[in-house]
Structure 1
């Protein structure tokens, strides 16, 4: 799987090519057939209005010949995604070097048409609705020669609407959307700011599903579920009350009495809990339906690593004259999220009564807003593997499937509107170029958007909060609209005004309690531990950092070759200040690797080759992410607690050169494994500033005596100092336990520090192993710097000197591979047979053609071995090609390959 072009993974195209999508072969199969059934329009024929002379009203009549149009076998796609699916473009070519700039974006300045023909079987007492879930930027909607909605109503990427089309449906139906070009400063789109170049179409199109829904004479609105449980300490076995709520609407000109039945069940076993009631509605009237049931001994839903992710299924059905008129179903969890500001006005959360430290990354949708369930699931498995617990969605709220996956896995989600475009087009937003202020129509779009997203998100236990702003707060009118919509949808979670800390906030929401002070570019490891004074130390490990990171995430060579030309690869290491398209937009502060490369050159020496540059880059990336998450974890219980950190970013929208834990092709590298070390359930970490060792416990259930062993060795492999201390760990607590300042402060040469944590009452079971490399000089930060660049990094005035690592003698490393019991994994024993440390050994699992196996889960990687030390690792993979070898290399270890048993 990993060696296939990702376009195949994304779109599931058949090897024989893409067929023409028409409805003629499926006239006998209605899209929906029974009351309560919902189905997405399955495919689209698309074409620019510049190439079509017919009026959309005419095109929305069945039987129109669209054989010359582009045909996308997708239910949802932006224009670029549709054209990729239709074979006009492919990602392999688009993403190579600067090819994206060669796409003619002029073709997207005219409106485009989306068309589909489908079959229904309308009859007496049946009603049909056309449901949209967001179209960018806006659209006119036509069905069977009728205009269903205009672009004033159907506007905004999240503007979902339900249109009653009962009076105009036939057996054969033709649907047309005329979509208008997206301008990020004028329209409510889905933009990428400076994360990456903008897609040529600016995300225009029917990017979310369009559904056809059938009901009887009474219809149901979105199902909401409100849960309350009695034990405030969040323990299991709580007695919970689940209330099912929905709006009901009489669609006919007669008085109707309906019978409603609600059920709540856990899994497939056991008898569902149920309740029922009757309700009478006058002609064309609406009402609120509410049914309540009690769950005895309810299983609570917990975040990953804290407990189980029990999901209940709520079903609500309404009957008219003993026939189903409508029905709906949602999954939910029994859990409670609270938010408060501590004495420092920093955001703090609890889940089921337990203090919850947010540790996560900023998620990006695909550049063309393509959705692939397997691809996203693999990313969330990476999140769990790194020991993270949260992702932040800044305006990239994707589809319901995202939240279904995070519910199942226990990963918290922080959704919210995006920055730097129309969504924050306020008069006081001085970060935007000139832009039109919001109009009455804009507030209406915002209202529809908030209602739609609240309805989609309300039942999902993985949702931590909703942020109604990002870099700036909404004005009072917008804030009131947002809060009213969320409350109307029985929103159970905190509402956050925005993710920064500036001079204002809407009174209806309150202050944010978050900081967005950077850094976004490289800073040395000691940055994160150097917390005071708070006023100038910005992103250091205190408070809640909504987006911050060391600007790292360099892909390895195998991935780089998939999107960088030979000339690009040369520029990467020989021209450290050059602007590169795969960094971000060419007008961004982040278009070059200048700051990053300055640190690399000064600390590790000028690279002598591309391979040398990439090895040093992985070391830099590993250091940066490990230190950030160790500092935030270690200072979780400090005088001013580090309550949360969202790493900038989790992933890239396309193949990128920074801001990611793993690359676009799902290959994890240095940044990933630095974060993974820091995210261990129990861990010991080194404070680069005070030279203390911290005992960190991320669990809710692990406690008791622990043994912490430390040793310092020189480049010659000889021990400089070592020792062991005992300590007692507590769940969800961190504290300093050892002072190593006399040993690690200004060594005469580069030294290695190894920390190990074990459980003495369990046969000294190893819990964590962690190796640092320390220089005789420190990285010195200019905390007083207040220049134009201060918002995204803190300059370094002198650098730690690791140049003596170049004199580290060669080490010989042996490996032994054996298959795991289930056949989908390997046991890898790595042994350093030399008398000196084997520094920064990286291992890579490959298939027969040498291509990377991804997704892949290593127990540890990019490891440093003591002289004569042996380390057992494990690796597993899912699907795709079978691995044939493990490649390994390191700073002072020659590149070698070990064959997988039975692969030849």
Structure 2
């Protein structure tokens, strides 16, 4: 038998299948073992229009030419948008006014035809890589192969043997997607993140594939890695896979392949219709090339390739990439969750991720957003019930961004008391499917089985069984809130807010969302874009209302009442910076407010990461991006433009960084790398607004690895009102490594913590920053050098006054459209008289864009 197998391996030649007769205008599926075809697109129609039954709709040559042509992964709304059914749904209240939700109260049909030539002895499967939202019927060539009792929920994956149903020539697949309700179904929703998708994301949102194998199928190939800690001199790789006998007869198979170029070989005998987990002998790798988060090192990826052979030749194959790394977590002495990557303490500095509102597959946009995250210096993205598809995980692997997925709050996912036996099944299948999809991705930091609440004992056990059954290799955490479950115990996390505006010194308090422990979702709420962005999404009246009538609800704020108005933000802006005189004044002050608030959040958590008494082990900014254009909860706006929110956070997240503390006036040197950096000098200078030096101190320091420490203090100045502090970090050669500018007040913001709510803490007194609006106009010159990878712009302050928050922007021509997206080395910079700074911009599209300069007083 073995000899015949090896002979077949050597003699195998793959046969191309020619198009079947009558297969014009439809793709041909080569039914060759190991080959998988992703359905490239669908025809889609409402069942109110296509009233025929499934047997007729899934018949070959059914007339669907009048249906909507939609992409491979397409919810109903996504399909209608791509067919230009509606005007711009991002603008003003169009999403509310132009879409009739009645259209989605009935099922919708998806249909696809392909040509094939079935071959005896080969097995063809219909695979759903994710569920049908909210549930579905699957039909092939007039036969229903699964109904809504089986295909339910957004995340389970399914595989059906359709070999007996395939015909020589034209074949048809039809899927009937049922209406969705996030409080009735285990699906995907957006809560208060944005307006809901009118269709509640019903439809086919992940790939559907047609796969062919021989007698034996290979699935879920995975590599489990174990490191020699703390030395990191060797790693043990354990390769596992599932083998399934698709026949009614015993089969012997040879499973061969390699993992990280180490050969694999195993002979397996399978009983009829039996599935077996195959575990190869462990592989020891000496001096392994380890995968690290970007802040710690490089991201080498290795290959896993497996092929199953039988006496009939090649039967199936599986391949994947993986990284060699170790992720662990524990509760520290204060009960906070602390993560470790390859044995090194890992301070999570992350953001909450939002998928597209219609769950569209947009690889180019996804790549641009993850580049923004890497450019910012974020090291983690939290995925709350929106796990995206394989592209996000692959990008995160390559970019060194950790991912913290888990289930969402507040919908059916956490309404445990109303769960049925079907819900337990679907939840377990969903978790198993996601775990199997993530198991080889080194970017996965853990899995949150709950968000705002703790799972019941039965729910927790269902999740644990699914995760452990898939060999999920990262920590499993009971909740993103401070909850406790029967098996996993305490979460080690907190979810105390805020979600709306608070002053910078809030983050330095050891209360609620302040810098202590692990905060799983916190942020300062409103994030006001610049005028270009506002004009893309808001009407002139809505833009005017931002500063003239902040008590008026805005559709591009949240539907939830506490987040529907800019009242709190506007009142603080007026008290701290002075009442806006016009739109331009409002926007320039809003950028300063967003910059300082977001910078403070990340700096506070960075400073206290290694605090010996109450360390701040992690923080997730709420949120990093938007599902749809909004005026809150983002670090970059929906059009990928970056404003004050972005650059305040980017400043705080620099890998070698000097920063000011709002609580004790200390100057802190932070280093997020794994190597100490000696020979540095920190200088802190305080200035009156007229340019007079109030204090000037410096210190020679070493930036210790993966920690932060206080190195100086800034004396309280003998002035009244507003003043400025400049922090400079220089290396041994006198080169500037980092600069950081603060606008401060001799009077502090005062927080009323006893009156805190779940969403914010009131402020009873405000810092006085009104002096900034009296700064004289500054003159800043620029010189631009174009390069292959972007451009450099040198900014120089040619005036006798400080130039505050100077912004560089790229346009197609003077006064032309913005060039987006752009990655800036820095922006919203402040220059004293005679100072200059060089900014680098990387961009796509425009050949030699125009550089436009503006600023708070420029």
What TM-score range do you get, normalising by the shorter chain?
over 0.9
Maintained 8 Å contact 1:469/1:499: yes
Q: Which range moved further: 313-322 or 178-187?
A: 313-322
- Deviations, residues 449-484 of structure 1 (Å, cap 9, x unaligned): 111101100110000001111001221111111111
Maintained 8 Å contact 2:323/2:440: yes
Aligned: 1:854 with 2:820: yes
CA distance in 2, matches of 1:779, 1:25: 72
Aligned: 1:756 with 2:728: yes
Q: What SS class does the counterpart of residue 740 from structure 2 fall into? A: strand
Aligned: 1:198 with 2:196: yes
- Deviations, residues 681-706 of structure 1 (Å, cap 9, x unaligned): 11111101111111111111232232
Maintained 8 Å contact 1:313/1:330: yes
Maintained 8 Å contact 2:688/2:719: no
Q: What SS class does the counterpart of residue 562 from structure 1 fall into? A: helix
Shift of the alpha carbon at 1:295? 2.8
Instruction: Quote the residue 2:604 is aligned against.
Output: 631
Shift of the alpha carbon at 1:426? 2.5
Shift of the alpha carbon at 1:40? 1.3
Aligned: 1:346 with 2:343: no
- 2:145 aligns with one of 131, 143, 148: 148
CA distance in 2, matches of 1:178, 1:839: 58
CA distance in 2, matches of 1:653, 1:747: 45
Unaligned runs of 5+ in 2: 1-21
- 1:180 aligns with one of 164, 178, 181: 178
Q: Which range moved further: 682-691 or 277-286?
A: 277-286
- Deviations, residues 290-339 of structure 1 (Å, cap 9, x unaligned): 22333333200000031110101101111011611111011100000010
Maintained 8 Å contact 2:687/2:724: yes
Aligned: 1:217 with 2:215: yes
Maintained 8 Å contact 2:674/2:706: yes
Instruction: Quote the residue 1:19 is aligned against.
Output: none
Aligned: 1:800 with 2:767: yes
Instruction: Quote the residue 1:431 is aligned against.
Output: none
Maintained 8 Å contact 1:529/1:541: yes
Q: What SS class does the counterpart of residue 841 from structure 1 fall into? A: strand
- 1:110 aligns with one of 96, 102, 106: 106
Maintained 8 Å contact 1:602/1:801: yes
Shift of the alpha carbon at 1:168? 0.9
CA distance in 1, matches of 2:734, 2:707: 21
CA 1:564/1:883 → structure 2, altered by over 3 Å: closer, same or farther?
farther
Maintained 8 Å contact 1:332/1:460: yes
Aligned: 1:123 with 2:139: no
- 2:256 aligns with one of 252, 261, 282: 261
Instruction: Quote the residue 2:842 is aligned against.
Output: 876
Shift of the alpha carbon at 1:395? 0.6
Q: What SS class does the counterpart of residue 727 from structure 1 fall into? A: strand
Instruction: Quote the residue 1:391 is aligned against.
Output: 381
Instruction: Quote the residue 2:635 is aligned against.
Output: 661
CA distance in 1, matches of 2:314, 2:570: 66
Aligned: 1:418 with 2:408: yes
Aligned: 1:814 with 2:778: no
Q: Which range moved further: 238-247 or 538-547?
A: 238-247
Unaligned runs of 5+ in 1: 1-22, 266-271, 428-436, 532-536, 894-904
Instruction: Quote the residue 1:99 is aligned against.
Output: 94
Aligned: 1:452 with 2:433: yes
Aligned: 1:617 with 2:604: no
Aligned: 1:242 with 2:237: yes
- Structure-to-structure mapping, 1:430-579, within 5 angstroms: 437-502=418-483, 505-531=484-510, 537-579=511-553
CA distance in 1, matches of 2:280, 2:354: 38
User: What count of residue pairs does the alignment treat as equivalent?
Assistant: 831
Instruction: Quote the residue 2:246 is aligned against.
Output: 251
Maintained 8 Å contact 1:262/1:291: no
Shift of the alpha carbon at 1:147? 0.8
CA distance in 1, matches of 2:492, 2:584: 43
- Deviations, residues 163-211 of structure 1 (Å, cap 9, x unaligned): 1111112232111111111111000111001010001101111011111
- Deviations, residues 336-367 of structure 1 (Å, cap 9, x unaligned): 00100001110000000000000010010011
The alignment yields a C-alpha RMSD, in angstroms, of: 1.4
Q: What SS class does the counterpart of residue 560 from structure 1 fall into? A: helix
Q: Which range moved further: 179-188 or 592-601?
A: 592-601
CA distance in 2, matches of 1:384, 1:474: 33
Instruction: Quote the residue 1:896 is aligned against.
Output: none
Maintained 8 Å contact 1:194/1:588: no
Q: What SS class does the counterpart of residue 153 from structure 1 fall into? A: strand
Shift of the alpha carbon at 1:162? 1.1
Instruction: Quote the residue 1:382 is aligned against.
Output: 372
Q: Which range moved further: 855-864 or 354-363?
A: 855-864
Instruction: Quote the residue 1:901 is aligned against.
Output: none
Shift of the alpha carbon at 1:25? 4.0
Q: What SS class does the counterpart of residue 307 from structure 2 fall into? A: strand
CA distance in 2, matches of 1:889, 1:715: 20
Maintained 8 Å contact 2:405/2:448: yes
Instruction: Quote the residue 1:276 is aligned against.
Output: 265
Maintained 8 Å contact 1:552/1:671: no
CA distance in 1, matches of 2:434, 2:275: 22
Maintained 8 Å contact 1:153/1:445: no
Instruction: Quote the residue 2:741 is aligned against.
Output: 771
- 1:135 aligns with one of 115, 121, 132: 132
Maintained 8 Å contact 2:431/2:466: yes
Q: What SS class does the counterpart of residue 298 from structure 1 fall into? A: coil
Shift of the alpha carbon at 1:371? 2.0
CA distance in 2, matches of 1:316, 1:240: 21
Maintained 8 Å contact 2:322/2:441: yes
Q: Give the ranges of 4+ consecutive aligned residues of structure 1 lying more than 2 Å apart after TM superposition.
A: 23-27, 29-33, 238-241, 292-297, 881-884
Q: What SS class does the counterpart of residue 754 from structure 2 fall into? A: coil
CA distance in 1, matches of 2:727, 2:242: 58
Instruction: Quote the residue 1:826 is aligned against.
Output: 791
Shift of the alpha carbon at 1:644? 0.4
CA distance in 2, matches of 1:859, 1:783: 37
Instruction: Quote the residue 1:16 is aligned against.
Output: none
**Could you state the TM-score of these two structures normalised by the residue count of structure 2?**
0.95
Instruction: Quote the residue 1:785 is aligned against.
Output: 755
Aligned: 1:584 with 2:584: no
Aligned: 1:712 with 2:686: yes
Instruction: Quote the residue 1:333 is aligned against.
Output: 323
Instruction: Quote the residue 2:81 is aligned against.
Output: 84
Instruction: Quote the residue 2:574 is aligned against.
Output: 601
CA distance in 1, matches of 2:274, 2:786: 66
Shift of the alpha carbon at 1:52? 1.7
Shift of the alpha carbon at 1:668? 0.6
Q: What SS class does the counterpart of residue 536 from structure 2 fall into? A: coil
Maintained 8 Å contact 2:183/2:411: yes
**Could you state the TM-score of these two structures normalised by the residue count of structure 1?**
0.90
CA 1:32/1:622 → structure 2, altered by over 3 Å: closer, same or farther?
farther
CA 1:25/1:712 → structure 2, altered by over 3 Å: closer, same or farther?
farther
Q: What SS class does the counterpart of residue 483 from structure 1 fall into? A: helix
Q: What SS class does the counterpart of residue 58 from structure 1 fall into? A: helix
CA 1:791/1:234 → structure 2, altered by over 3 Å: closer, same or farther?
farther
CA distance in 1, matches of 2:166, 2:460: 39
Maintained 8 Å contact 2:722/2:772: yes
Instruction: Quote the residue 1:52 is aligned against.
Output: 50
CA distance in 1, matches of 2:86, 2:205: 18
